[in-house]
Amino acid sequence: MNVAIIGRLENYEEETPFKKRYTINKSYIEIFDMLNILIIPVLSIVNIEKIENMCDALILPGSSIGVDPKYYNDLPFPGKEYKYDEYKLDKQVIDVFIKAKKPILGICGGMQTLNVYFGGDLNQNVLNHKLLDNSKHKAKITTDSFLYSVYQKEEIEINSLHRQAVRKLANNFKVTAISEDGIIEAIENGNIIGVQWHPEALNDIEFFDKFFKTFVK
């Protein structure tokens, strides 16, 4: 199995150009190696169709940049600037995979991207969800969901490392997990899944394995 995953720009505030680089979190590589899945990085809009043709699914990982609120007709939170735009690449890659009807998994910022892409918007300043180290909080799961098929229970513990979150839900999606303080933690629409936490950081192999077994035909 081959999976496309979008690289994320790091050190983007550095003035030295050699320190700016696209990366893929090591946790994804370790998990997908165990699942015998080949990762194909997506770093450019060039030849996206060729990458889609080689891949069975798309992963939209978290992003430290975030979605520029201009894409959902809002202004930036005071003090926040968007010098780089990762949404442009995300959008074009999503376009191609949606057309091919292939599954998409959005994680943290990737879920926020999916929500904006399908017509929703974001809360730009969520408090108390940027936990440190191995801190976790609880989230309730709906029983009619992909997530319930993974965990077989209505409450799980998740990590949290985000400032933005889903506000208005995207068209045709349903909320399938919500935190104790009311933050949307997961959204689903068929074979398009978004989770606000980081299952890769939890080494949650079961989650990824179930996603591919469920949605990759």
Q: Three-state DSSP class for 23?
A: strand
The answer to whether 102 touches 52, Cβ cutoff 8 Å, is: yes
Catalytic residue among 86, 108, 129, 188: 108
Q: How far apart are CA 141 and CA 163, in angstroms?
A: 21
Q: Can 198 be counted among the known catalytic residues?
A: yes
* HSE, side-chain direction, 13 A CA sphere, residue 94: 22
For the chain, the residue count is 217
Question: Using alpha carbons only, how large is the chain's radius of gyration in Å?
Answer: 16
Cα 164 → chain centroid: 12
DSSP 16: S
Q: How far apart are CA 135 and CA 126, in angstroms?
A: 17
Q: Can 162 be counted among the known catalytic residues?
A: no
Q: How far apart are CA 211 and CA 164, in angstroms?
A: 24
Query: Residues near 33 by Cβ (< 8 Å), separated by ≥ 6?
Result: none
Six-digit token string for 133: 């180290």
Catalytic residue among 86, 185, 188, 200: 200
* HSE, side-chain direction, 13 A CA sphere, residue 11: 10
Q: Can 108 be counted among the known catalytic residues?
A: yes
* Active-site residue set: 108, 198, 200
